[in-house]
Structure 1
Amino acid sequence: MPVRTTPWPEGTPCWVDCQVDDPVKESEFYSDLFGWTIEDGGDDSGGYLMGRKGANTIAGIGPKPRAGTPSVWTTYFAADDVDAIAEKVGAAGGQVVMPPFDVLDAGRMLLGTDTVGAVFAVWQARAHSGAAVYNEHGAYCWNELHTRQLDAAKRFYAETFGFTYTDVGDGESMIYSMFSTRGGEQPAGGMNDDTVMPGEPMPSYWLTWFQFDDVDAGVARAAELGATIPMPATDSPVGRMAMVMAPQGELFGLIDTTVTVGEMPQ
């Protein structure tokens, strides 16, 4: 089981949490689906809950900052200096929605939007380094931006975090870029051009994927627990995958990266 106990390199997706109307109720859904134990952060946490596997943190579940906003999963990017990143966000054309602030002794963070309108967070670790468990059943394994303005998004994150890109896909049915952090050798996440996707356009958003060892069983259980399934289980070259909308409306993906079918479009 991979476990991380030190801060993540700058620009790496290092933490995910969801903001919902009723964190306690939604924590029951995730506890059942993923096998998490849920820890209450105490009186000072503002109702923020932690999903854990044993003693190790996986993800957070918290209340919405404002009533009436959508329930969402948020991707956090690691930063050595969140205040310096805040300046880069503005210089690159993004917006700092919540300026840098301290989260008790856990760390320092900001909330922002990029130039294509997707919301993200930035985390400077102190006592809390981010996700300790990753890339295994019930833990996040991939984060990707969905947008119809891929080139603009790539410029923003290159200027803000120093991302470099590897393009994959055939340019028609699949237009996708994997990003690596400054000095990183392995992809840290991806960006999908949704112009090739059918259906009505959606606003740009960051999608969190969780590793699930039997996606079909996970989809069935999620539905039993009150979720809806906007994308049923499907085979792909990167894994068998599905998309789930949790009972309070936040969207996430399930993927079994050990079950692959076919080759990536070239």
Structure 2
Amino acid sequence: MSVRETPWPLGTPCWPDLMCDDPRAAARTYATLFGWEVEEGPDAYLLMLRDGLRVAGIGPKPPTAPWPAVWTTYLAVDDTDRVATLEQEQGAEQLLRPTDIPGLARIALLVDPTGAHHGLWQAAPGVGAERYNEHGSLVWNELMVRDHEEAMGFYGEVFGHSYEVIEEDDGSFAYAQVVTADGRLVCGLGRIGDEYGDQFRPHWMTYFLSDVPTATVSAVQRLGGRVLMDVVEGPFGQLAVLEGPQGEVFSVIRPDHVDED
């Protein structure tokens, strides 16, 4: 069992958050899918728990928001205001200025220079995900972009990230494992190929661990969602890409190996 009681290290994906039109309907969906429990949070925000520990949040999407329902990856910071300012100095666009969620965190929402939106999470005092790396909880995050060099430069400058690059046979960039300043492998960075055109926008993908991905895929379909990519054997485990009933996209994976920390 992986449990977190202290704030996550700087630049670590630490909290998955779903913004959607009907948070309570979404909560029912994920309660069925992953066995999540609901805890009432501030301002109509719902905290989702497994065995009493927080794993995700679900909240209302602003009525005038031009984007569909979306899972947002929040990155851990020690000072939301400082990091939000630094990101903007490096070319990011701010969507939500630093804001307090009473009893939980100080957050902000930004779009990085590649076009991928993400959040900042300063524990106040909520650490973010308290349970992780087990069925129905956060296990991995992946930034998918068209310009990997721009992404590497931006996150390296803001968070001190370094990269373990995996190359194609011809020496071109294939994938990078992202390492924090204190040496932790925390997420992945992939490239959206030109062959996809405008089909995929740059984005952060949330991965939840599923003990049986085929069963999770079937459950999503029964609950009114869609399968965007059926279960495949990837380089890191068995995975699928899914769309929830309100249009939110996420992935599930049964990884070949899971670190305890």
Q: Does 1:258 align with 2:252?
A: no
User: Which shifted more, 243-252 or 106-115?
Assistant: 106-115
Query: Which of the residues 24, 32, 50 maps onto 1:53?
Result: 50
SS at match of 1:235: strand
CA distance in 2, matches of 1:131, 1:197: 36
Go from structure 1 to structure 2 and tell me whether the alpha carbon gap of 1:247 and 1:111 turns closer, same or farther (over 3 Å shift): same
Q: Which amino acid aligns with 2:10?
A: E
CA distance in 2, matches of 1:96, 1:216: 38
CA RMSD of the aligned region, Å? 1.7
TM-score between the two structures when normalised by the length of structure 1? 0.91
Contact 2:241/2:249, CA 8 A, preserved across alignment: yes
Contact 1:14/1:130, CA 8 A, preserved across alignment: yes
Q: Which amino acid aligns with 1:80?
A: D
Query: Which of the residues 87, 93, 96 maps onto 1:95?
Result: 93
| 5+ long unaligned stretches in structure 2 | none
CA distance in 2, matches of 1:65, 1:169: 41
Counterpart in 1 of 2:146? Answer: 148
Counterpart in 2 of 1:12? Answer: 12
| Cα displacement string for residues 108-143 of structure 1 (whole angstroms, at most 9, x for unaligned residues) | 111111001111000110121110011110001001
1:85 CA drift (Å): 0.4
Q: Which amino acid aligns with 1:115?
A: P
| Cα displacement string for residues 82-114 of structure 1 (whole angstroms, at most 9, x for unaligned residues) | 111012101211122212121113221111110
| 5+ long unaligned stretches in structure 1 | 260-266
Equivalent positions of 1:68-87 (< 5 A) are: 69-87=67-85
1:171 CA drift (Å): 5.8
Contact 2:178/2:187, CA 8 A, preserved across alignment: yes
CA distance in 1, matches of 2:148, 2:54: 32
Go from structure 1 to structure 2 and tell me whether the alpha carbon gap of 1:234 and 1:169 turns closer, same or farther (over 3 Å shift): farther
| Cα displacement string for residues 144-173 of structure 1 (whole angstroms, at most 9, x for unaligned residues) | 111111111111111111110011242669
Equivalent positions of 1:189-200 (< 5 A) are: 189-195=187-193, 198=196, 200=198
Counterpart in 2 of 1:37? Answer: 37
Which aligned segments of 4 or more residues in structure 1 are displaced greater than 6 angstroms?
none
CA distance in 2, matches of 1:211, 1:122: 23
Alignment coverage as a number of residue pairs: 255
Contact 1:74/1:120, CA 8 A, preserved across alignment: yes
CA distance in 2, matches of 1:16, 1:36: 14
Q: Which amino acid aligns with 1:77?
A: L
Identity of aligned residues (%): 38
Counterpart in 2 of 1:263? Answer: none
CA distance in 2, matches of 1:190, 1:171: 19
User: Which shifted more, 151-160 or 100-109?
Assistant: 100-109
Q: Which amino acid aligns with 2:100?
A: D
1:65 CA drift (Å): 2.2
Higher strand fraction: Structure 1 or Structure 2?
2
Query: Which of the residues 98, 103, 106 maps onto 2:104?
Result: 106
SS at match of 1:154: helix
Counterpart in 1 of 2:181? Answer: 182
Go from structure 1 to structure 2 and tell me whether the alpha carbon gap of 1:130 and 1:196 turns closer, same or farther (over 3 Å shift): same
1:226 CA drift (Å): 0.7
Counterpart in 2 of 1:213? Answer: 211
User: Which shifted more, 211-220 or 191-200?
Assistant: 191-200
